[in-house]
Amino acid sequence: MNSKISISVPCGIIDWIRLLRLYFAAFPRAERKPFSRIYNMYRRGKSDIWCIRRGGVFAGFATTVNSPDVILLDYLAISSDHRGEGIGSVAMELFKDKYKGKGFFVEIESPFVDRPDKDARKKRREFYIQSGMEPMNVMAEVFGVKMELLGIGCLFDFEGYKAFYRDHYSEWASEHVLYEKHPDEES
């Protein structure tokens, strides 16, 4: 099988079915937006939805929320039968190239919260750091989930992050982004 990794918009019902199945399998309920919201933003040109393929075969997906100068990598998932093959790392390089010249950031569930899945959260953080993202020293509780921001070329602080939510989602959504002290901050 051809091992070339590529990104493309979903084309056809089968792509959408695979994408939705992976979305519901890969993300816990607390971290999932209604997919209708993601799709509506995509239809209005406010976000991108990408299929990630290896040799033309669906291997994962990503969604972004787009502003003129900053891109949020909202969701990134590789299907379980393709994990560990370097597809996510190559996809990250493709996204960084696609959005070159813009700030590019991701929200990750905080690896600093002591819960049973802490190792998985640390591993996810390490993946993004190895992909060139840096801690932005911004932590927040977003709809009850403690998140850390990692990015490239993003210079906003907590208030800028909250404004991103207000501008791209709604005032109501922004009100559910609460300040959380970063472990690196002075007491």
* Ranges of each domain in the chain: 1-101, 108-187
What pLDDT digit, counting tens, does each position of 105-151 carry?
Answer: 999 887 777 776 777 778 889 999 999 999 998 888 888 888 888 99
Confidence band, pLDDT 50/70/90 cuts, at residue 178: confident
What's the pTM? Answer: 0.88
DSSP 79-122: -GGGTTSSHHHHHHHHHHHHTTTSEEEEEEE-TTS-STTHHHHH
Residue 90's nearest CA partner among 78, 102, 101 is 78
Q: Rounded mean pLDDT of 93-97?
A: 95
The arrangement of secondary structure in 1-101, i.e. its CATH architecture, is: 3-Layer(aba) Sandwich (3.40)
pLDDT at 33: 87
Give CA separation, 40 vs 57, 62, 118, in Å.
26, 15, 33
Residue 186 has pLDDT above 60, yes or no: no
- Least confident piece of the model among 9-18, 68-77, 178-187: 178-187
User: 2 falls in which pLDDT band (50, 70, 90)?
Assistant: very low
Residues 21-42 pLDDT 10s = 999 999 888 788 899 999 999 9
Answer yes or no: are the C-beta atoms of 71 and 87 closer than 8 Å.
no
**Segment 154-158 mean pLDDT:** 85
